[in-house]
Amino acid sequence: MKIILKKKILNLGKKNDLIEVKPGYARNFLFPKKKAILATISSIKELNNLIKKKKIKKKFLRKKLKFYLKYIKKLKIKFYLKLGENGKLFGSIYKKKIYKYLKSKNIKIKKKFIFLEKDPIKQIGVFPCKIILHPKVHSKFEFEVSYKKVLIF
């Protein structure tokens, strides 16, 4: 009996897979628990349309994300840390600071998509940062960390 899975089932298949199972298994387990439906001509056509729509949506999303990342690459990002009298730096740069900076520029990316080589940056220089929005859509950019001298009275 041919069925279309509505949920992922271990050792059987994932959602929207068209598979063949024994009739008793389908009637007694899969259909009552609403884990599958019978594969009729209309349900197979509906499944194919759904798969086509998902592919088109993914392609559009990737194009949108690539455009987004080109905009991020053009930004000149510079952070300032405070420098004390004895040359000691105060503060550090985390993913959260980069996230807040991007958010202030109306770039809404979740913090979990931002990756730094070493997370707390506590020195002056130019550092790489990677943004991975999708397995096929990722970008690298650099930001600079400089200092502001603080006068302590």
- CA distance between the termini of the chain: 84
Alpha carbon of 123 to those of 39, 75, 131: distances in Å? 62, 21, 21
What is the reported pLDDT for 29?
94
pLDDT-based confidence at 153, cuts 50/70/90? low
- Write down the pTM of the prediction: 0.62
Q: Which domains does the chain have, with CATH numbers?
A: 2-64 (3.40.5.10), 66-149 (3.10.430.100)
- Rounded mean pLDDT of 15-30? 94
Q: Does the pLDDT value for residue 46 go beyond 60?
A: yes
